Amino acid sequence: MHKPRRRLRTALIAGGLVVLLAAGGGTAWAVDRFLVEHVEIADTTAYEAANSSVATDDTETDAETSVDVSTVVTGSGDDQVTYYVAEVTLGEATDLRSAFAKDQFGENITETTSAMAEANDALFAINGDYYGFRDTGIVIRNGVVYRDEPAREGLVFYTDGTVEVYDETTTTADEMLADGAWNTLSFGPALVEDGEVVAGIDDVEVDTNFGNHSIQGEQPRTAVGVIDENHLVFVVVDGRDTGYSRGVTMTELAEIMVSLGATTAYNLDGGGSSTMYYDGEVVNQPSNGGERGTSDILYIAG
C-alpha cells in the first residue's frame, strides 16, 4: 500500500473503585468486575486465522487506501475546540481492521492505542468501543464472531464497503456474518442518519452500570462517519482543557460529522480513551495527560 502524504502540522473506573473500597461494600465483586483480566481467547490472531470465513481480495486493483489527517481549531478562549480529522479512502473494505489489547479477547484487558497500533504495524488507528468494559453486545472483528449478546444500537462495516447503524436486538452475530459483516462496534449512539443530526442524542446513556454512568455534556469524543462507500471520516475531539479544547456535546459532535460530509456517523468510546494515532505518534492530546488503556482499536496497516 502506498503510504499517504502526511498533512498534519501541528481513571474514571479506578476512581469509582476507590469510593467503593472506602465504603467497604462489594469490594471483591468490584475488583473482579472492573480490574481483574478475564481472558476468553488468548491469541486472537491465531483464532481469526482459524475461524475467519471471509475471503479477502488479494488481486491487484487500481484502488489504494489513503489516509489524510488534519487539525481543526474553532472558537477561542474558554470556547475553543480542537479536533483531529482523518479522511480515509479504502482500497478494499477489509483494509479497515480491528485489533485487541494484548492480542487477547475478554474483559478488563487493556493497552494503549499506540501500543496496539505499533503491534499491528498500523499507519493510522483510533480507539474503538472499549468492548471489554462490558459483557454485552455483538462483537464481530475481522470477519470472526467473538460475542453474541445483543443489547444496543450498533454499527456494522460490511465487506462490500457499506456501513450501517443497526439494532442488535433484532438479529444475531451469525446472521450478521452471513450478510457479510466484517467489523461491528457496540457503543453509540448513532449521531447522524441520512445526513441529519439524530434528535435527542444529548440525553442518551450508553451504559448505566457502575463506573460509566453518563456521556453527556462537553467531553472528549471519538466518532466514525461514512461519506460514501469505502470513504470514511474519523474524528477525535480533545477536551477537559480550557483554552485548548473544552470538548463537545454529542450534538456538536454530530454537527462536526455532518460538516465533514458524513451521511451516517456513530459515537465511540470517548473521555480519556479518545486517541488518534498516525504515522508513528499520537496526534491528539488525551485528556488524562497521556494515553489511557482501552480494549481495542480500528486501524489501517502501514
CA distance 56 to 147: 22
Q: Please, what is the angle between helix 12-23 and helix 27-34, to 10°? A: 170
Domain-embedded: residue 274 = yes
Domain-embedded: residue 20 = no
Q: Output the CA–CA distances (angstroms, integers) from residue 229 to 50, 65, 258, 272, in the order listed.
A: 29, 13, 16, 30
pLDDT reported for residue 7: 40
Give pLDDT tens digits along the chain (302 positions): 444 434 443 333 333 344 444 555 568 777 777 789 999 999 999 999 999 987 655 555 568 999 999 999 999 999 999 999 999 999 999 999 999 999 999 999 999 999 999 999 999 999 999 999 999 999 999 999 999 999 999 999 999 999 999 999 999 999 999 999 999 999 999 999 999 999 999 988 766 544 444 578 999 999 999 999 999 999 999 999 999 999 999 999 999 999 999 999 999 999 999 999 999 999 999 998 999 999 999 999 98
> Quick one: which of 223, 184, 228 has its CA closest to 90?
228
**Is the Cβ–Cβ distance between 122 and 299 less than 8 Å?**
yes
CA distance 175 to 257: 30
Domain-embedded: residue 21 = no
- Residue 264: other Cβ atoms inside 10 A: 21
Strands (DSSP E) along the chain, which ranges? 38-41, 66-74, 81-89, 96-100, 105-107, 122-127, 137-141, 144-149, 153-158, 163-167, 181-185, 190-193, 196-197, 221-228, 231-237, 264-268, 276-278, 281-282, 296-301
- Prediction pTM value: 0.89
Total domain count for the chain?
A: 1
Exposure of 194 by Cβ count < 10 A (0-12 exposed, 13-18 middle, 19+ buried)?
Answer: exposed
pLDDT reported for residue 223: 98
Domain-embedded: residue 3 = no
Domain coverage including residue 105? 41-301
The residue written with cell numbers 474519523 in the block is 234
CA distance 235 to 256: 9
Domain-embedded: residue 29 = no
Domain-embedded: residue 4 = no
Exposure of 250 by Cβ count < 10 A (0-12 exposed, 13-18 middle, 19+ buried)?
Answer: buried
**What values do phi and psi take at 176, rounded to 5?**
-65, -45
